[in-house]
Amino acid sequence: MEGINKEILNVFEKNNLNIPNIPENRNYWLLRTEGGNWYEEFTSEKFIAIGWNKLDKKDYCESVNKELALRILDNYYPENKQQTLVINNINKFYNKMKIGDIVILPSEGSQVLMFCEITSDVYNQNISQTEIDEGNCPYVKRRKIKTIKLISKRNLDLKLFKMLQSHHTISDINDYSNEIDSSLHDFYVKGEKIVYSIKINKKTTLSAENLRTLTNIPWIANEYLHNDFYNLSDLMSTIYIKSPGKQEYEGKGKNAAKYFVGFCIISNILLGGKVEIKNFTIETNGLAEEYIKINEQKLKEDHEKNRHQEEMEKLKLQGEAEVPDINKYKKTPN
């Protein structure tokens, strides 16, 4: 897989964590479902498709055959006045989309969006007239997909609303890759980058105290770590104020990965997550043993006296902040 940073992944693997690794060469697409007409079939039958059935060969996308493709469009689709756009859409479907890419499918009115991964090359599906008469999708050019996550429009990242303004059959949405990755994962690796997000559930405006606490969480967690390897000034932080919003932290490289292991454990404990540190891999010279000073029970006792405790308790008890559950990333035995 292209774009893997083995040093970063080794840090997580040694600590028994399986953090999603996103290929850097992944592309992102929005594919319209004709006003939602094919949304249910696409998502339930796990495929995507586009029309213009008479243009059913990859060769029609090549410049040498463009004149032939235009004649076919004139002959079979005379009502379509945007012939170059049609050929561009077919070219995207055949040549630019690839296995492993993410494709977003909007329902009617874009009320919900299904995030999917492409799992096959293009194939031509034989469709009977009976199937078409029964209301099945008539398009022969198809790719298989795996559905990943359903997100309602009201919970969509604000930046992704602009993406929905495109009404082309297929749109390149690589400009929104960061927002899409963070919508799918609250903890992930992409190349040198490690991203960790704390979800903000508060329905009303965050107070200055809440903002201060969220901003200070890495430094609060750092009080419990033997951190002589990572400078917190290198940690990037972005806060999205929305319901739900998020506080996103980003670091780069092996040392950032070491810090995020400890940060994830500490933030889970401070904000109400259940963590069993003893179930993580601890080697004689293991990473966790090097920089986690104390065991879980001692950590719980000490954090009661922490000077930030009152602020942290407010976030936890009111459910205003939700950290990634480290237990879902623990590697399971084969």
Give the pLDDT band of residue 113 (cuts 50, 70, 90).
very high
pLDDT at 290: 42
What is the per-residue pLDDT across 32-91, written as a single tens digit (0 to 9) for each?
A: 999 999 999 999 999 999 999 998 888 877 765 788 888 899 999 988 888 889 989 999
Domain boundaries, the chain: 1-196, 199-329
Evaluate whether 189 touches 5 at the Cβ level (below 8 Å): yes
The pLDDT score that the predictor gives to residue 330 is 78
309-317 — which CB contacts under 8 Å span 24+ positions? 311/209, 311/210, 311/212, 311/213, 312/213, 312/220, 312/270, 312/271, 314/209, 314/210, 314/213, 315/210, 315/213, 315/214, 315/271, 316/270, 316/271, 316/272
Contact 99, 119 (CB under 8 A): yes
As a whole number of angstroms, the distance between CA 142 and CA 47 comes to: 7
pLDDT band at 183 (very low <50, low <70, confident <90, very high): very high
pTM of the prediction? 0.83
pLDDT given at position 42: 98
Task: Tell me the pLDDT tens digit for each residue of 252-275.
Answer: 999 999 999 988 888 877 765 555
> Which pLDDT belongs to residue 283?
33
CATH class of 1-196: alpha beta
Q: Do the beta carbons of residue 121 and residue 149 sit within 8 Å?
A: no
pLDDT of residue 277: 47
Nearest to 143 by CA among 93, 106, 89, 104: 93
Cis peptide before 244 (omega within 30 of 0): yes
What is the predicted pLDDT for the residue at 275? 53
